[in-house]
Amino acid sequence: MAIFTGAATAIITPMKEDDTVDFDQLEKLINFQIENGTDAIVICGTTGEASTLTHEEHIECIRACISYVKKRVPVIAGTGSNCTKTASYLSQEAQKAGADAVLLVTPYYNKATQAGLIQHFTQTAKTIDIPAILYNVPSRTGCNILPETAVKLAKEVDNIVAIKEASGDISQVAKLASLSEGCIDIYSGNDDQIVPILSLGGLGVISVVSNIIPKETHDIVANYLEGNIKESLTLQLRYLALMKALFLEVNPIPVKKALQDMKYCTGVLRSPLTEMSEANAAILEREMKKVGIL
């Protein structure tokens, strides 16, 4: 059974002005998401600035999210690292906290060969009993999970069951879908490719834009899977410019700015991320107004 079908929100980690995690605001954001139809919450992913959280903060955020969600939707904990021991430790802590699954990004900076990826993901997944989702985002990590590698992992490691595909390479996703023959669930990791990946057998998206339009992002997937292809495509295209605007600067700078404008967070980012430029913020505001968010 799939961990989720539909749209999972890769939720931000709201910060207070003193740079500490704002748990009250996190709870409000989670309630906003669930009340508006999001199908799962991903905590401590890239959008959640996991790379600048201490291990203690990381685990505290996972525990808090699970507490706030109250089993209304699945909670997927980002626990990946460029260190296998760290990824294993965080994954075990996520399981202890009650996470429904973990999201494991490819090792960044030190990278790895395909053999190294197989070793890393296998060792990490075997330290837990809950499902693991591979996360392929080579633009950020410099490391690509080839389709053959993903299929091998899914077939040989029982709890590696899905992949978040953010390579941006539709041909690669098509090859993965062909080789896998259904042995691994595929989720889009790019908001502008939800419909294309659904057309290749994908089950949904792990989304940035759903931080600000959870219902509409859910509806893109739900309409497609219900056979309302035209309506799904219409929604995908309607929000395409907004999706692009959320990546005018490195994620999560723009989405935090958007949520600040919506009064859901302060917009504070952990260094080395910086405040959005005025020019790009104006473009983002314009696109939000076009679709009626502001």
Alpha-carbon gap, residue 278 to 258, rounded angstroms: 13
Active site residue 135: yes
**Which one of 16, 28, 108, 135 is the catalytic residue?**
135
Distance between CA atoms of 166 and 205, rounded to whole angstroms? 10
- Give me the helix-helix angle, 278-290 and 253-261, nearest 10°: 60
Of 28, 68, 111, 164, which one is the catalytic site residue?
Answer: 164
Alpha-carbon distances of 170 from 40, 160, 203, rounded to whole Å: 24, 22, 15
153 CB neighbour count, 10 Å cutoff = 23
Quick one: which of 237, 280, 238 has its CA closest to 258?
Answer: 280
DSSP for residue 15: B
Q: Are 177 and 145 in contact (CB under 8 A)?
A: no
Of 214, 71, 60, 80, residue with least CA distance to 143: 80
Known active-site residue 215: no
Contact 99, 76 (CB under 8 A): yes
Q: Name the residues annotated as catalytic.
A: 135, 164
